[in-house]
């Protein structure tokens, strides 16, 4: 019976604490796995994402990203965690991953991995700010200026709040999130506020069935935050340290940089915590 090796890594760890950050399962070689089996394995592990590596003629490796429910074209923490595993397999500190969204370059300095995000696009909110506030369980005055849908690989709603206290107080409502849907029909919101010089505190919410879930660290949203700053004409270069995940028990640290050319970089520390294999019957 075929055996498939995997590694468990934590991405965007805080001070490299082994059990901080956002967990990821990476299958080292997905050759022979059908789409249906990859989706079923992602559900089996039931992490926010599971990735599957295979050979690529265009890049260091080809990777596919699955949540327990669907495949994603791009996500930040799976990209960095997968690159960490590719380095373990190849020895390369700079890798290019072929993702459904295109080729994504990733580089390492020690165990801090940084990706170059796709160039962002953005569009206006399309609903009143009051609707966003209601969906987040906040008062309208808690919502800052110009929430935007931003796409630097995956479209998400980026919502500035007026204080860190509002970020911490947010209590999203599943029913109201139906009014906040991306172009691909997925509801989510990333809220943030400055937490001091060079600091950001953030949270990322998305509904699943009748439950509201919170992501401990969202690299794609950090990239979209870089796009939000470009859209609102914040002058680059920018260098920000983002804190996320404290409310989930998985404290995480993400590093966002936007250079003078408007290129967006998202980085974080990756730690491998285990490995194993799955044996699948015919």
Q: For residue range 169-191, what is the model confidence (pLDDT) as tens digits?
A: 999 999 888 888 899 888 999 99
User: What is the distance between the alpha carbons of residues 118 and 131, in angstroms, rounded to a whole number?
Assistant: 29
Mean pLDDT estimate for the chain: 95
Dig out the tokens for 235 from the structure.
Answer: 């002058």
Dig out the tokens for 229 from the structure.
Answer: 């700053």
Burial of residue 249 (number of CB atoms within 10 Å: 0-12, 13-18, 19+)? exposed
Where do the structural domains in the chain lie, given as residue ranges? Answer: 3-114+268-279, 121-262
User: What is the distance between the alpha carbons of residues 65 and 45, in angstroms, rounded to a whole number?
Assistant: 13
CATH superfamily of 3-114+268-279: Diaminopimelate Epimerase; Chain A, domain 1 (3.10.310.10)
pLDDT of res. 94: 97
Count CB-CB contacts under 10 A for residue 58: 9
Active site residue 165: no
68-74 own/partner pairs: CB under 8 Å, 24+ apart: 68/42, 68/43, 69/43, 69/208, 70/39, 71/35, 71/38, 71/39, 71/100, 72/100, 72/154, 73/99, 73/100, 73/101, 73/153, 73/154, 74/99, 74/100, 74/101, 74/104, 74/118, 74/153, 74/154, 74/220
Q: One digit per residue, pLDDT tens: the chain, 282 residues?
A: 789 999 999 999 999 999 999 999 999 999 999 999 999 999 999 999 999 999 999 999 999 999 999 999 999 999 999 999 999 999 999 999 999 989 999 999 999 999 999 999 999 998 899 999 999 999 999 999 999 999 999 999 999 999 999 999 999 999 888 888 899 888 999 999 999 999 999 999 998 888 899 999 999 999 999 999 999 998 899 999 999 999 999 999 999 999 999 999 999 999 999 999 999 975
Portion of the chain with pLDDT greater than 90, in percent: 90
> Which CATH number is 121-262's, of 3.40.50.1860, 3.40.50.300, 3.10.310.10, 3.40.190.10?
3.10.310.10
Q: For residue range 104-129, what is the model confidence (pLDDT) as tens digits?
A: 999 999 999 999 999 999 999 988 99
Task: Please tell me the total number of residues recorded for the chain in this structure.
Answer: 282
pTM of the model: 0.94
CB 30 within 8 A of CB 55: no
Sign of CA dihedral 219, 95, 263, 272: positive
Catalytic residue among 15, 28, 49, 261: 49
């Amino acid at each position: 019976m075929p055996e498939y090796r995997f590694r468990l890594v934590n991405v965007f760890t805080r001070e490299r604490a082994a059990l901080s950050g956002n967990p990821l399962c990476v299958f080292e070689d997905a050759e022979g796995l059908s789409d249906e089996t990859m989706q079923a394995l992602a559900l089996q592990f039931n992490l926010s994402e599971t990735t599957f590596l295979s050979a690529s003629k265009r890049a260091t490796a080809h990777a596919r990203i699955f949540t327990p429910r669907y495949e994603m074209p791009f996500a930040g923490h799976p990209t960095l965690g997968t690159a960490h595993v590719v380095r373990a397999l190849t020895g390369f500190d700079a890798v290019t991953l072929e993702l459904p969204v295109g080729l994504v370059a990733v580089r390492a300095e020690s165990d801090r991995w940084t990706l170059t995000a796709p160039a962002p696009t953005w569009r206006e909110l399309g609903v009143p700010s009051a609707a966003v506030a209601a969906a987040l369980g906040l008062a309208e005055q808690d919502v800052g200026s110009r929430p935007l849908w931003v796409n630097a690989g995956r479209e998400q709603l980026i919502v500035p709040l007026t204080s860190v206290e509002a970020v911490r107080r947010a209590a999203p409502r599943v029913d109201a999130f139906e009014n906040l849907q991306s172009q691909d029909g997925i509801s989510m919101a990333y809220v943030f506020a400055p937490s001091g010089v060079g600091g950001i505190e953030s949270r990322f919410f998305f509904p699943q069935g009748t439950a509201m879930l919170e992501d401990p660290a969202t690299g794609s949203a950090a990239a979209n935050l870089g796009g939000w700053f470009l859209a609102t004409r914040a002058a680059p270069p920018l260098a920000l340290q983002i804190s996320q995940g404290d409310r989930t028990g998985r404290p995480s640290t993400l590093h966002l940089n936007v250079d003078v050319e408007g290129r967006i970089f998202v980085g974080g520390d990756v730690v491998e915590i285990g490995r194993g294999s799955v044996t699948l019957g015919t």
